[in-house]
Each structure stands twice: as structure tokens, then as C-alpha cells.
Amino acid sequence: MSRIGKKEIEIDGNVKISIAGKNVLISGPNGQEQIKLPDVLTAKINDSKLIVDRINDKKETKSLHGLFRQLLANATKGVTENYQKQLEIKGVGYRAIQDGEKLVLSLGYSHPVEIIPPEGIKFTIAKNIITIEGLNKQKVGQMAAHLRSLRPPDPYKGKGIRYLGENIKLKPGKTAKATGE
């Protein structure tokens, strides 16, 4: 069996799971998430544990087994506690402002960049740190990657948008090369 796929998913008391055929509906205090399983997988609940089984041992089925088990585990965690990513803005004149739900970024372009969050994503701003929260781990990570791609960190000065705690190795400029360092 798949090493990840054979792990059982612990179900908290706050999480309710209902299985209808190939659809698994996971609901909790933060919201609900629905995942449709492929035809080669089945899900069942046994003693407050969610178990994902597969029909055959083909290579594709094994990979789907581990993938969907992890998607279900992420959904059970997401409906109880939100996933979050934090981005840091560095640079003179670079700033973020929250206008209602949308995010307005000044990143050195001739115009401000406006980001409207997709459903289930929430932005909060504290000084120069943007926090992205949501119950879907994939959507939170995708939104963080999109925001970072708007102005990735400059390798010479280090300014731009980076993940909080990300270490950017700065390159030496022309002056370091001229002095022989």
C-alpha cells in the first residue's frame, strides 16, 4: 500500500464528515469542504477515523491513493483551524493597504495593483506583513505565490515581496567586483 494512503485520518469532535458515494463532505466551525474521490478509491469512517482504500494496485491508483488521503487530511485540518501564509514587503515606497476585502499594493509600478481575494481567502495587514488565511491549503499557497510573483525579491538590494522568514542571499554589485573582493 501507499505509505501515506494507508495512514488513518483522525477526526476531531468539531468535524462532521458525510460520505455519499464518491463525494466526501467535511464540515467544521470554519466552513465546509467537498472532495470528489476518483472511481478507484473509496472512503469509510471507522471509530472516528477516516480511512481511504483503493480497488487495485496499479501505479496510478497508488499515487491517487496518497494524494486524496492527504487532500482529505488537509480539509479536516482546514475546517477547524485556518491555514495561513505570511508575506513581508521590503523596499522604499512599497506598501499594502486593505480596502474592504481587496488588497491594494504599491510596488513601484506606475499604478497600484489591486487584488480581489477568491472565495474563502481573507487578507489582513499589520505594518509591512500581509497574512493570507483560508480553509483550503492549496488556495492559500497559490494566493501567496501569486502575490510574491508581483514583485519577487531583488537579488542585489533585497527589496520586493518575500515569505516571512525567507532568507535572500544578496549578490555583490559592480563595486565589489571593482575593488577585488
What are 36-82's pLDDT values in tens digits? 999 999 999 998 899 999 999 899 999 899 999 999 999 999 999 99
> Which has the higher per-residue pLDDT, 3 or 84?
84
pTM attached to this predicted model? 0.85
Distance CA 107, CA 26 (A): 39
* pLDDT (average), residues 140-169: 93
What is the pLDDT, as a whole number, of residue 133? 95
Is 179 exposed, middle or buried, given 0-12, 13-18 or 19+ CB atoms closer than 10 A? exposed
With a cut of 90, say whether residue 90 has pLDDT above it: yes
* pLDDT value for 1: 44
Average pLDDT in the 4-31 region?
Answer: 91
How far, in whole angstroms, is CA 125 from its chain's centroid? 17
Q: Whole-number mean pLDDT of the chain?
A: 91
**Separation between Cα atoms, residue 127 and residue 2, nearest integer Å:** 45
Task: Over range 130-152, report the average pLDDT.
Answer: 95
Q: What is the 3-state secondary structure (H, E, C) of 94-143?
A: CEEEEECCEEEEECCCCCCEEECCCCCEEEEEECCEEEEEECCHHHHHHH
- Which of the four pLDDT bands, split at 50, 70 and 90, describes residue 136? very high
pLDDT band at residue 177 under the 50/70/90 scheme: low
Query: Which pLDDT score, from 0 to 100, does residue 5 have?
Result: 86
Domain 83-163: give its CATH code: 3.90.930.12
User: Where are the CATH 3.90.930.12 domain residues in the chain?
Assistant: 9-78, 83-163
pLDDT (mean) for 100-119: 93
Q: What is the CATH number of domain 9-78?
A: 3.90.930.12
Q: Which of 20-29, 43-52, 168-177 has the lowest mean pLDDT?
A: 168-177
Whole-number Å distance between alpha carbons of 169 and 156 = 9
Query: C-alpha grid cell for residue 19?
Result: 460520505
